[in-house]
Amino acid sequence: MLPSRSTWPLPLLVFAPLALAAGGCNRSGDPLIPESVLGHCTYKNRFSDRTECREYRGDRWDEAGASADCGEWGAELESGACDDEDILGACVLGDPERVIRVVVPGSDAGDCRQQERGCEIFGGGIFVPGPVCGGEDLPDPVEGDVFQWPVLECKPPLAGEPAGQSEGGDVCTWSMISGCTEPGRDFAAYASCDRVRTQRPYSAQPTPQPEVEDPRLSDPAYAEELAWVTEQVSACACVCCHQTSLTPDGAAIWDLEAPGNWIHTFTPYGLAFAGGFLDSSLLGAYPADQNNGFDRASTGLPTTDPERMRAFFAAELEHRGLSPDDFADADPTPAPFYQQYLFAPQACAEGEGVAADGTITWEGGSARYVYVLAADAPNPGVPPNLDLPEGTHWRVEVPWDSAPMPSRSVRYGELPEGARQGFPKDGSPPALEAGSTYYLYVLADIGVPITRCLFKYAG
């Protein structure tokens, strides 16, 4: 069970070997970066194909450890700090006494948001904007980077397949990262993977796991369970990033089409995630009765039989000399989402909040989602079930293909041109009471908060 927001501090740094979802950095504060620098190394990132420079900062680094880390990237440790005139920013990882500061050179401000998301979603770090990305207003993301809301797509079954379970024999599928089509069908035949890939950052990343022969494939009992898991995964949106033939540039870490036993492409962390031995509830989920019977309340991968799925991945961990107990003390994942969940808002800066005339002012750039919540409301999460927490008074938003809203362009309870009301579903929001405190929560996009603070409404 996740702890309440009021009882946990906000950690300065987050850790995640792999996160399958979006995050955002808290622009109201910076991570702690030690002044002492052991050295650095420069290399080309094999995933992004960009030149990067890693700095090893803090008293707990030694030459052997830093050299080994550089070696993982095919580089050699050099003395001193990174020296680049134009940088997009830096991804800060580690703990305060053993920090890795990954500096990304560049001069194109249009790359800023991609680097931020890559750092915080796939790296599990905190992105600190450099001079190129350090303006008050970051460039608005291009269309492919903007979260597109799921659509319930209803289609007739493919030729040769049985009638669907929906009205008129259609097959209805949510085009959402947590969505699944009917068991025994392929998700990509019934919903848009292009839409799904806007809902989480996608990047082709080869598995770090070595290829091995698996004699278990000749065991009929194991082969039957593997075939069932494969069918379950094929019916769900996971394939949009984890099945090579359906992706723009290749699968991300694990690949349903890998040669031999594709389960070997999972890292141990991935196995624990898939089996539900890590709490991934912050990624959101549909109720099973709205998702063609697929449930992900207790497993990372949606399934129609949670106990069977958990048993399969527990056995996979055991096969690698591990067990679910090895992950019992792990924090909920993804780390950036957990950080956002725990975030405890402080007082707004002077001028931020809702003015007497209803004008809403925030910092950090243009926004696609603006919330006004009760002061003690939980932090908004991701769709489909965590984006409207109890205590939401009003949410105004713009569609993915519309321009975002600048600060001071929105008045409480009034919709700017091109915007729509996300909550309440009908009617006007409750009037704000003079002298009461409220929570202003503003997102550049889903999972990317730019202002989160408490203000007192003057009335």
Q: Give the tens place of pLDDT for each residue, 85-116.
A: 788 888 998 877 789 999 988 888 888 878 88
Expressed in angstroms, the distance from the first to the final Cα of the chain is 39
Q: What percent of the chain has pLDDT over 70?
A: 90
Strand partners, 442: 370, 451
C-alpha 124/C-alpha 20 separation (Å) is: 10
- Least confident range from 42-56, 134-148, 154-168, 244-258: namely 134-148
Q: Stretch 340-364: mean pLDDT, rounded? A: 95
CB 264 within 8 A of CB 317: no
Asked if residue 250 has pLDDT above 60, the reply is yes
| DSSP state, residue 120 | I
Q: Stretch 419-430: mean pLDDT, rounded? A: 97
- Least confident range from 24-33, 199-208, 240-249, 383-392: namely 24-33
What is the pLDDT of the chain when averaged over all its residues?
88
Displacement of CA 236 from its chain's centroid (Å) = 18
167 SS3 class: helix
Q: Stretch 58-67: mean pLDDT, rounded? A: 88
- Least confident range from 48-57, 258-267, 282-291, 411-420: namely 48-57
Asked if residue 212 has pLDDT above 90, the reply is no
C-alpha 429/C-alpha 412 separation (Å) is: 8
Of the candidates 397, 365, 404, the residue with the CA atom closest to the CA atom of residue 383: 397
CA count, 13 A, side-chain hemisphere, 386: 19
Q: In the chain, count H helices and then E strands.
A: 8, 16
Burial (Cβ within 10 Å: 0-12, 13-18, ≥19) of residue 59: exposed
Asked if residue 214 has pLDDT above 70, the reply is yes
Taking only the tens place, the pLDDT of each residue in 120-140 is 766 678 888 887 886 433 344
CB 59 within 8 A of CB 95: no
pLDDT at 3: 52
CB 397 within 8 A of CB 296: no
Of the candidates 251, 22, 8, the residue with the CA atom closest to the CA atom of residue 127: 22
Query: How far is residue 261 from each of residues 155, 229, 241, 242, 308, measured CA to CA in Å?
Result: 32, 12, 18, 14, 19
C-alpha 128/C-alpha 136 separation (Å) is: 13
Question: pLDDT category, 17, cuts 50, 70, 90?
Answer: very low
Size of the chain in residues: 459
Q: Stretch 374-393: mean pLDDT, rounded? A: 98
Of the candidates 287, 200, 290, the residue with the CA atom closest to the CA atom of residue 237: 200
pLDDT at 269: 94
Query: How far is residue 26 from each of residues 336, 345, 448, 449, measured CA to CA in Å?
Result: 10, 11, 9, 7
| DSSP state, residue 283 | G
